[in-house]
Amino acid sequence: MLRAPNENEKAVPRHFDPALINDPFDDPGLYVDLVFEKRALLFDLGDLGRLSPRKMLRISDVFVTHLHMDHFAGFDQLLRRLLGREMTLGVYGPRGIIDAVEHKLRAYSWNLIGGYDGNLTFRVTEMDESGRTSSASFSGRTQFARRDEEKGQLSEGTLLKESGIQVRATTLDHGLPALAFVLEERAHINIWRNRLNAMGLAVGPWLRKFKEATLKGADDQSPINVAWANAEGAKPDSLPFGLLKKEIMKTSSGRKIAYVVDCAYTERNIERIVKLAEGADTLFIEGGFLECDSVAAAARRHLTARQAGTIARLARVKRLVTFHYSPRYKGQGAELAREAQDAFLSG
């Protein structure tokens, strides 16, 4: 089962709903349900056994931190569930992930895949430390043969940019390049229902287009097609964007969720995490060792719980969630969480 949001979280309207897939001692992974879009994002591909088929089928994009087994072994589970569906799955990760996906797909025989109604396609994008990207696609129609696509250069590590959300990444050191991610709601738009009613306007699909125009920064004179509650009398088919923005809308900053796992406690990593996660509503971050074992954590290029809490405090996040605990601490999860929270709240 996914972790249920706490009572305070339920009271906050939101575009997305993040939840860790597994127990903090098990494989890492964050499932983010895009509540109003009937789809989901997945961060890391560890063991997906606790995700229901319905939840797996909602996944549209996957963001992989690095290619250690506990972060990528779930690819086969996802492939098995999605096979035969008519869909394109976006996969994003560090350098090498295109080859990794290709090898996974080539491990199977696809001579009978033409019998499936749907065409499953993977579009895989890898990012290096300088923000350069390479992409390739693998289509079931061609027995998942690799087709290399364009190369690019990211702006501020932005891997995914849509009208409502964006996902950015930065590269950390884990003895190999590992990505950290932040998911941001580009703006939260509230429609004043009483003002909508006062203007005689109806609730309908036109409001989605109005919100999209807001997120794209439409000109105040741009016409927005509207729907009226009462069709009697002569009424215009559209109204100026600026008028609607002034009369029926209130905007607030969108939510921000950061996901950081598997990295050394180095000055460079700290600087990059703080910049990425600055002011996040929730920071999901590994904190798998007690501070008394900091030497062992450093040897494995992982964070201690106290180090995770310190980074969260420096980034001024609102909420800290630690996970990816070392199995050596089985039964001591509360102690790890407490050590992280003490460092987060101190000072």
Residue 54 lies in a domain: yes
| 90 & 223 share domain | no
| 235 & 304 share domain | no
**H or E element at residue 56:** helix 53-58
Could you report the per-residue pLDDT of 238-297, keeping only the tens digit for each? Answer: 999 999 999 998 887 789 999 999 999 999 999 999 999 999 999 999 999 999 999 999
DSSP state of 307: H
Other beta carbons within 10 Å of 271: 12
Domain limit, last residue, from 252, 281, 297: 252
Could you report the per-residue pLDDT of 96-134, keeping only the tens digit for each? Answer: 999 999 999 999 999 999 999 999 999 999 999 999 999
CATH code of the domain containing 104: 3.60.15.10
DSSP state of 176: S
Instruction: Single out the residue of 249, 240, 251, 247 nearest to residue 199, CA to CA.
Output: 247
Placement of tokens 């997945």 in the chain: 42
Residues 6+ apart with CB under 8 A from 123: 88, 89, 90, 91, 135, 136, 137, 149
Could you report the per-residue pLDDT of 127-160, keeping only the tens digit for each? Answer: 999 999 999 999 999 999 999 998 999 999 999 9
Residue 1 lies in a domain: no
Domain limit, last residue, from 202, 221, 252: 252
Q: Give the chain's domain count.
A: 2
Q: What spatial distance separates the first Cα and last Cα of the chain, rounded to whole Å? A: 36
**289 pairs with which residues across the strands?**
304
Domain extent for 313: 7-186+254-345
| 59 & 37 share domain | yes
